[in-house]
Chains A and B, each alone.
Chain A
């Protein structure tokens, strides 16, 4: 079955870049029918969709306005994974971060609690 395995640091300093990786098993990041998303959850913001990447003969990405300009989601076909890069983080970016598949999010990673603090 399809699984998503997340990895990355749990503590990031303010102004630095948060980098999380999501490894896909049982599906392909280059699938022509799937999309690959990052979502976060915090008490103040609830569940918040951050962005996605997907392949339809070429690569596309979409990002939420709240993080646009600070976010990049990159596919890695060689490792069958995708990553989240969120730069210039502040304490407001403290949240549980999830990777997920498709628009009705049918498969989720286990979640990574990321704290932004000096």
Chain B
């Protein structure tokens, strides 16, 4: 199985500041057929299912604010929130869909400093 490892486990950022979450896969998840990385990012708030934010490592899901962006390739990926808002407090997960079984990172808890 591909292991997804996120860092840090938790993060406290001031309102309006940048938040950066990292995700590393144990195997490259670059899909040669379409030159895309099979990496998604999710946001989960208490009592809710995860919400898809980013797919193909950098494509924003419709309706997701443009302060959320994804980057990276191969085995190293980053989710950036450019200017943290109060409603961004949540747990964030990365997930690979390159190969079965699809696997998730352990999550990063984002709080307000």
Contact = CB atoms under 8 A, between A and B. Distances in A.
A104 B107 CA distance: 16
Given A47-B104, A49-B102, A103-B102, A108 B49 contact: yes
Contacts of A100: 49
Given A109-B49, A110-B49, A104 B97 contact: yes
Task: Determine the interface band of chain B, counting residues with CB < 8 A from chain A.
Answer: 20 to 34
A105 B107 contact: no
A56 B57 CA distance: 26
A109 B49 CA distance: 7
Most buried by B among A48, A108, A111: A108
Interface of B: 38, 40, 42, 48-52, 55-56, 61, 93, 95, 97, 100-104, 106-107
16 contacts: A46-B107, A47-B93, A48-B104, A49-B102, A49-B104, A62-B100, A64-B100, A64-B101, A103-B97, A104-B95, A104-B97, A105-B42, A106-B61, A108-B51, A111-B48, A111-B49
